[in-house]
């Protein structure tokens, strides 16, 4: 591969002139410039991003660590981040922690070693906030995505989970529901915890006793499944809310095995949900994250932070949409009516 020296020789100029032509960083005589351009053409020269980055002390790249690349919501965020990154002339380095704290830490270190100009982080469930502390000491800007830690001094982009859950629950309570199962998933995940909080908010406002509700937050899917099954068996439950797509899938399967149909036997709603929800039955009421836009917003915050390190951290909460569908309608609430 040709390098700048080759080009300089062929154009009979100094290597710095080549550099300046390439980067438009100072004026060069049109004819000289043309000679350089021709030489570049003829040698097939391409700038070496590595050497350039080493010298400039910036790579024009950002790192993204997601906690579960397999989940559709995260896949969409990745998509959004990539899209916004190219828009800003940044290359994306992608890593997946698979909800594993160690892998997350290694991924972050790898990306920092590669000198990414910024880092977007959707943290793994079991990951200690302490790791972030050390990250805060680094000079590399960090944006937290989806899983937020408001008490930490980072730029953050998430969804209005608490409020959305409250809106959803308000609706369900208004429809007459008094006995819920919330399949919340790992309580260490802030996103999920916020959703449970919103649930409590709504019940409190409606004077519905929280103690009579079943909140399943076991980390082990098999255990959660068993708990859901037994809760359904014990009777009285009129509505199930799942806090993520995998949990929704688990819950729907459990309902099926218990011989229960949505919405006839029990109402059902979920966060994140499934693709093309209007094409299939049951049509599931869903609180949907603007996942792509969250990715885009994260990049925007990151780019702004890269431009100016000073300025206090900002937390952006994007609004989720409450998509009401058949799974929370028309079912039989006689058993809970007075």
Give residues in contact with DNA (CB under 7 A): 1, 3-5, 12-17, 19-20, 22-23, 25-29, 32-33, 45-48, 51-52, 54-57
Closest contact distance (angstroms) between CB of 11 and DNA is 8
- 110 contributes a contact to its own copies by CB under 8 A: yes
- 288 contributes a contact to its own copies by CB under 8 A: no
- Of the candidates 185, 187, 144, 193, the residue with the CA atom closest to the CA atom of residue 165: 193
- 109 contributes a contact to its own copies by CB under 8 A: yes
In the bound state with DNA, the residue whose beta carbon lies nearer, of 25 and 133, is 25
Q: How far is CA 329 from CA 8, 110, 168, 267, in A?
A: 73, 49, 13, 7
Q: Answer with the entry of DNA, its own copies, none that 83 interacts with (C-beta below 5 to 8 A by kind).
A: its own copies
In the bound state with DNA, the residue whose beta carbon lies nearer, of 25 and 321, is 25
Contact residue for its own copies among 3, 32, 43, 83 (CB under 8 A): 83
Distance CA 270, CA 247 (A): 8
First to last CA, the chain: 82
In the bound state with its own copies, the residue whose beta carbon lies nearer, of 253 and 330, is 253
Helix (H, G, I), strand (E, B) or coil at 165: helix
- 32 contributes a contact to its own copies by CB under 8 A: no
The gap from C-alpha 308 to its chain's centroid, in whole angstroms, comes to 24
Helical spans, DSSP H, in 44-93: 49-56, 72-87
The secondary structure element, H or E, covering residue 107 is helix 101-113
Per the CB < 8 A criterion, the answer to whether 238 and 232 are in contact is: no
Closest contact distance (angstroms) between CB of 71 and its own copies is 10
- 253 contributes a contact to its own copies by CB under 8 A: yes
Per the CB < 8 A criterion, the answer to whether 183 and 221 are in contact is: no
Summarize as ranges the residues that interact with its own copies (CB under 8 A). Answer: 46-51, 53-54, 59, 61, 69-70, 72, 75-76, 78-79, 82-83, 86, 91-96, 103, 107, 109-115, 245, 249, 252-253, 256, 274-276, 279-282
């Amino acid at each position: 591969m040709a390098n700048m020296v080759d080009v300089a020789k062929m154009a009979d100029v100094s290597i710095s002139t080549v550099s300046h032509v390439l980067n438009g960083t100072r004026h060069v005589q049109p004819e000289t410039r043309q000679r350089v351009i021709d030489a570049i053409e003829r040698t097939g020269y391409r700038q070496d991003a590595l050497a350039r980055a080493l010298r400039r002390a910036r790579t024009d790249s950002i790192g993204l660590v997601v906690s579960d690349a397999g989940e559709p919501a995260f896949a969409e965020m990745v998509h959004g981040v990539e899209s916004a990154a190219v828009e800003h002339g940044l290359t994306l380095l992608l890593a997946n922690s698979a909800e594993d704290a160690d892998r997350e830490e290694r991924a972050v270190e790898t990306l920092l070693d590669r000198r990414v100009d910024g880092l977007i982080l959707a943290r793994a469930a079991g990951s200690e906030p302490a790791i972030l502390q050390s990250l805060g000491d680094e000079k590399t800007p960090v944006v937290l995505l989806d899983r937020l830690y408001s008490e930490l001094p980072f730029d953050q982009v998430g969804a209005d989970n608490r409020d959305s859950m409250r809106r959803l629950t308000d609706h369900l309570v208004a429809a007459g529901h008094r006995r819920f199962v919330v399949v919340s998933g790992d309580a260490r995940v802030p996103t999920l915890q916020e959703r449970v909080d919103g649930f409590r908010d709504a019940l409190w406002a409606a004077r519905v006793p929280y103690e009579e509700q079943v909140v399943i937050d076991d980390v082990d899917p098999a255990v959660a499944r068993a708990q859901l099954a037994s809760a359904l068996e014990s009777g009285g439950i009129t509505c199930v809310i799942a806090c993520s797509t995998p949990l929704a899938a688990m819950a729907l399967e459990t309902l099926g095995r218990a011989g229960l149909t949505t919405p006839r036997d029990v109402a059902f709603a979920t966060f994140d949900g499934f693709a093309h929800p209007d094409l299939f039955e049951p049509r599931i009421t869903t609180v949907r994250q603007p996942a792509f836009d969250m990715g885009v917003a994260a990049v925007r915050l990151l780019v702004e932070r890269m431009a100016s390190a000073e300025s206090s951290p900002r937390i952006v909460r994007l609004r989720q949409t409450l998509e009401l569908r058949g799974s929370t309608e028309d079912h039989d609430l006689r058993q809970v009516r007075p």
